[in-house]
Amino acid sequence: MGNTAARASGARSREDASAPPRPGDRGAQDGSPVKALKPATVKRSARVADQVYRHLRRAIITGEIASGTRLREGEVAEALSVSRTPVREAISRLIGDLLVREHETMGVEVVDMDRDVTDIHHIRESLELCAARLAAQRITEQQLQALDDIIKLEKKASVAERVRLNHRFHLSIVQASGSQRLIEMLISFNDYFLHPQWVTRTEKKLVDQAVKDHVDIVAALRSRSSDRTEKVLRRHLKLGLMQITDEPD
């Protein structure tokens, strides 16, 4: 039994070694390795491919893996102490998320999200306004109190911490909508705005205004008026676009 398993393992190793290049390996002799990627603790109770995907996605969005970095199956697998198969699946999903780009001669590299931030923001705005209208009708007193608590924390937090609390504030409103589909979609989009290059662009005066806007948003939600909530939130989201692009529209 042991010899059979060993032979099977050896066959798989030889197969991986001799297999043609996959999307994450093509052009592996060029470009920079994934030097910044931190090791991940893989829990065997969950699908390894899902964990690798989440780890890579977060690393790209937060800037741990920089724009232009080449992702190669072998290097990523070694860095995360997993086999190449879940890495291959994770890279395919990242291509679908438009976080990495496959080139015919250049392999797979992390995209420059700065180019897409305006489009991402407008998509997020449309979805979040829809969620806010639902939240105005469905939000509970407990959820309103949670928003009040976030605002209290924002008033005494640093600029960088306020950006993260702002992220939490908006997700709380989306969750109050009760729409699981909207929640999942907006969690995906909101993650983009935690990228360090956008956090560091945030000016204190704009963050101070954002906190004031949050007070108005909670008041609108308490009024149970979907129209009022949408109006206040739309104004606030335009401020957010100014923070990351220096453009009002």
pLDDT tens, position by position, 87-100: 999 999 999 888 89
pLDDT of residue 196: 57
Domain count, the chain: 2
Length of the chain counted residue by residue: 249
Task: Classify residue 37: in a domain, yes or no.
Answer: yes
Residues 122 and 194 reside in one and the same domain: yes
Q: Domain end: 111, 138, 153, which one?
A: 111
Task: Classify residue 1: in a domain, yes or no.
Answer: no
Cα separation, 81 vs 93, whole angstroms: 19
pLDDT of residue 133: 98
Residues 25 and 146 reside in one and the same domain: no
Residues 22 and 80 reside in one and the same domain: yes
Residues 119 and 237 reside in one and the same domain: yes
pLDDT of residue 96: 87
Q: Domain end: 111, 126, 147, which one?
A: 111
Task: Classify residue 92: in a domain, yes or no.
Answer: yes
Name the stretches of the chain with pLDDT < 70: 1-46, 104-107, 191, 193-204, 242-249
Coil/strand/helix, residue 108: strand
Residues 118 and 241 reside in one and the same domain: yes
Residues 76 and 138 reside in one and the same domain: no
CB atoms within 10 A of CB 116: 14
Task: Classify residue 167: in a domain, yes or no.
Answer: yes
Residues 77 and 194 reside in one and the same domain: no
Residues 227 and 162 reside in one and the same domain: yes
Residues 69 and 151 reside in one and the same domain: no
pLDDT of residue 40: 59
Residues 96 and 121 reside in one and the same domain: no
Residues 92 and 194 reside in one and the same domain: no
- For residue 89, what are the domain limits? 18-111
Q: Is the separation of the CB atoms in 61 and 111 below 8 Å?
A: no
Coil/strand/helix, residue 156: coil
pLDDT of residue 38: 61
pLDDT of residue 244: 59
Q: Which amino acid is present at 153? A: L
Task: Classify residue 6: in a domain, yes or no.
Answer: no
Query: Which CATH number fits the domain that encloses residue 43?
Result: 1.10.10.10
Q: Is the separation of the CB atoms in 139 and 221 below 8 Å?
A: yes
Q: Domain end: 54, 81, 111, which one?
A: 111
Q: 69: buried, middle or exposed (CB in 10 Å: 19+, 13-18, 0-12)?
A: buried
Task: Classify residue 105: in a domain, yes or no.
Answer: yes
pLDDT of residue 43: 55
pLDDT of residue 200: 53
pTM for the structure as a whole? 0.66
Task: Classify residue 72: in a domain, yes or no.
Answer: yes
Task: Classify residue 172: in a domain, yes or no.
Answer: yes
Cα separation, 249 vs 182, whole angstroms: 24
Residues 143 and 87 reside in one and the same domain: no
